């Protein structure tokens, strides 16, 4: 089943084609997105999640054209993401960050918040339970720290919270931008296991993961797509891609 497809997706920054006619497909799988620095990986995610507007080309999600959707619409349709530089709301508590991930699935309005608080309380309690379930998947200790501001939480847990926040709303597609950046080897492996286990749990989530660490990529992804200077230069299994001449020169030359 096809989850996301891009057709000749392109964006121009001045003269620079940061993403250049990229055709990309993902089904029910984990796809690794790799490429040298500045090859357009993050920009590609920004295009898919609606933060950048494509110069040309199309993005289809679950058979629907979402090329011109705003970021919040993309999220509501079921695409969640994390950021390369961990981006949590530092002032807010662990739990509040998690609840933000459920924003698009909540129904209560400001009107109900003022005039029907018991109804909102019901929804809130269910949501908190849901957040605890997901936090427990990554690190149960975070449940005890739920009311601490994220600014007091160590980096590895912040990375976990960011993924937990993305996953808590049960998206169909998860975009991870270097989820292990800044972690040591041991923490990296732990993180990758946690991400891998997401697919074993009941929610069926497809994942696009950007990673520099090839050991990680080979371990977690079923398929790899390689970008270089905004173009897709190869795709296939990790073995196939790592044999590819163009990929080798891109990495050595890049």
Partner 1 sequence: MKTKINGTNGKIISLATSLGVCLALYICLVSSLTAALLILALGLGLIIYGERKDSIEQVYLSVEKNKPIVLGIIVLFVLVLPFLLHKNNYLLHVVVMAGIYAIVALGLNFQVGSTGMVNFAPAALFGAGAYVSAIAAVKFGISPWLGILLGMVGAALLGLIFGFPALKTRGYYLSLVTIALQIIFTQMIVNTAWLGGPNGIPGIPPYELAGFSFKQSLKILGLTIPYQINYIYLTFIFLGLTALAASRLYTSRTGLAWNAIEQDEIVAATQGINLTKEKLLAFALGAAFAGVAGALYAHYTSFIGYEDFDFSKSLILICMVLLGGMDNVSGVTLGAILLTIIDEKLRDFADYRMLMYSVILITILITRSQGLLPKRTRKYKEKSTGMPCVGQTVTMGGESSGSLKN
Ligand X SMILES: Nc1ncnc2c1ncn2[C@@H]1O[C@H](COP(=O)(O)OP(=O)(O)OP(=O)(O)O)[C@@H](O)[C@H]1O
Binding partner at 88 among Mg ion, ligand X, partner 1, none, C-beta below 5 to 8 Å by kind: partner 1
d(CA 233, CA 94): 40
Cβ proximity to Mg ion: between 63 and 85 the closer is 85
18 binds ligand X (CB under 6 A): yes
Contacting residues for 106 by C-beta, under 8 A, at least 6 apart = 123, 127
Does position 140 interact with partner 1 (CB under 8 A)? The reply is no
Least distance from Mg ion to the Cβ atom of residue 51, Å: 13
Q: Which does 233 bind (CB under 5 to 8 A by kind): ligand X, partner 1, Mg ion, none?
A: none
Q: Could you give the CA distance from residue 126 to residue 181 in angstroms, rounded to a whole number?
A: 33
**Binding residue (CB under 8 A) for partner 1 from 15, 114, 252, 253:** 114
Q: Say whether residue 76 binds partner 1 (CB under 8 A).
A: yes
| Residues 15 to 74 in contact with Mg ion, rule: CB under 5 A | 42
Contact 224, 32 (CB under 8 A): yes
157-184 as b/e, with b when 16 or more CB fall inside 10 Å?
bbbbbbbbbbbbbbbbbbbbbbbbbebe
| Beta bridge mates, 118 | none
Binding stretches for Mg ion (CB under 5 A):
42, 84
Binding stretches for ligand X (CB under 6 A):
13, 18, 35, 37-43, 84
């Amino acid at each position: 089943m096809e989850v996301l497809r891009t057709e000749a997706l392109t964006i121009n920054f001045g003269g620079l084609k940061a993403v250049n006619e990229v055709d990309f497909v993902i089904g029910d799988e984990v796809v690794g997105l790799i490429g040298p620095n500045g090859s357009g990986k993050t920009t590609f995610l920004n295009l898919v999640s609606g933060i950048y507007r494509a110069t040309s080309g199309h993005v289809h999600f679950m058979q629907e054209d979402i090329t011109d959707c705003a970021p919040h619409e993309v999220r509501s349709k079921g695409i969640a993401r994390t950021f390369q530089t961990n981006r949590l709301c530092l002032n807010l508590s662990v739990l509040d960050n998690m609840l933000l991930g459920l924003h698009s699935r909540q129904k209560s309005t400001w009107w109900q918040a003022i005039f029907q608080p018991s109804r909102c309380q019901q929804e809130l309690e269910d949501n908190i339970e849901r957040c605890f379930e997901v936090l427990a998947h990554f690190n149960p200790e975070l449940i005890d720290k739920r009311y601490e501001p994220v600014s007091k939480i160590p980096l590895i847990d912040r990375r976990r919270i960011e993924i937990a926040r993305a996953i808590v709303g049960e998206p169909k597609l998860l975009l991870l931008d270097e989820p292990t950046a800044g972690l040591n080897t041991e923490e990296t492996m732990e993180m990758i296991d946690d991400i891998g286990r997401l697919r074993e749990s009941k929610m069926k989530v497809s994942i696009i993961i950007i990673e520099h660490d090839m050991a990680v990529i080979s371990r977690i992804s079923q398929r790899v797509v390689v970008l270089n200077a905004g173009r897709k230069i190869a795709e296939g299994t990790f073995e196939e891609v790592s044999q590819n001449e163009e990929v080798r020169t891109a990495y050595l030359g890049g």
